[in-house]
Amino acid sequence: MPVDIVMPKLGLTMTEGLIVECKKKEGDDVGKGEVLFVLETEKVTYEVEAPEDGVLGTIVVQEQETVPVGALVAYLLKPGENAADLGAAPAAQAVVEVKADAPAADSGSVPSSEERVRATPLARKIAKEHNLDLSGVVGTGPTGRIVRDDVEKALEAAMQAPAVQETAAPAVQETVAPTDAPSGPAGNIVKFTGMRRAIASNMMASKTQAALAYMTNCVDATRIQELRETLLPSIETSKGVRITITDVMMKITGAAIREHPVINTRWTNDGVLYLDDVHMGMAMALGDGLIVPVIRDINKKSFAQIAQDRVDLIAKGKEGRYTPDDIKGGTFTLSAMGMFGLESFTAIVNQPENAILAVAAIMDKPVALNGEVVIRPMMNVSLTYDHRTIDGAEAGKFMRTLKEMIENPVLAM
């Protein structure tokens, strides 16, 4: 029997996926392990491989269509099989959308014209948004299925068709004088990716659904630099990775959060949710977007393990191997941008978290110490927090503890 290729579940939180690119066409020979299609779920892209040798049969879900986990995407025909082996029933089942509020059908019921129409989920969604009756649309997809292009062409044709006059009175035409205004600047539109849409949605949620407040402190980074230099040789020998200031800061920040649990919370409709464990999000640039992989249970891990986790997560990102679980479940995020030489910056809270710490570059600056002006490596750290949950005084206490731990790291051990 043909093999069903379905939308895989890549993590506990994944519910649906977007087909970004089909790597094979119907009728193409496929070898085991060859990539069939690329899917995207929020900020993660993933290559789906063929489970065995065969020929790609009917492609049920087209590019740029979103379907739930477990939904049929395509058929893989085994050697000796052909399209006739698929039969009509499976293909129809894959494209019929079941309405949750529809009554159960009995043997004598007759489906409505809308229910008889075979269309992809995306095509139905677009048609519904524009009140388009799909029964009058000709499908060009497999087995006459209506796909996105068919709906868009039908909508375009409807817009270009002359309007039907409700009365015999002639229409009044308004003459619009030509304008001499210059046209807009020339440019090139780059289509939104799923990652960019997810980033935009998350950032807007922070601005519109949270009461963001900010505070900044300047700390002496001498001791954390010394700590890194002390730990560097042993961690490089044992783990094969180089510990960074970011690793040290994530460990210390986790310890400061432990002393101030209100920082590790979420706002809910039922009240403030205090989270037991600190799962540290690590904001990083990836391709054309931002992603926040998570180092779990940061307070239960050594400096060496944190450095190892960071390196592993960065490698997975570069190779496109993230799963939804790698970027879900964070309780607090740290964003380090010292590599860009930034003296100070603020970050936007990563929803549904309640706070984020921005860590700037370490810079030598003149400071007053014991009545004398000396040069010290100084670093700005800025907290953005949701004032609905975290009061300014509580945020201030956290920042004071964080400063104490940075300037005396033994307190974080």
Catalytic residues: 387, 391
Q: Measure the CA–CA gap between 189 and 252, rounded to whole angstroms.
A: 43
Q: What contacts 72, CB < 8 A, 6 or more positions away?
A: 4, 5, 6, 60, 61, 90, 93, 94
Helix, strand or coil for residue 169? Answer: coil
3-state secondary structure 8-47: CCCCCCCCEEEEEEECCCCCCEECCCCEEEEEEECCEEEE
Q: In terms of DSSP H, where are the helices of 161-210?
A: 194-209
Q: Measure the CA–CA gap between 191 and 233, rounded to whole angstroms.
A: 46
Give the CA distances from residue 149 to residues 126, 146, 200, 201, 323, in Å, rounded to whole numbers and listed in that order.
10, 8, 26, 26, 30
Would you say 170 and 144 are in contact if contact means Cβ atoms under 8 Å apart? no
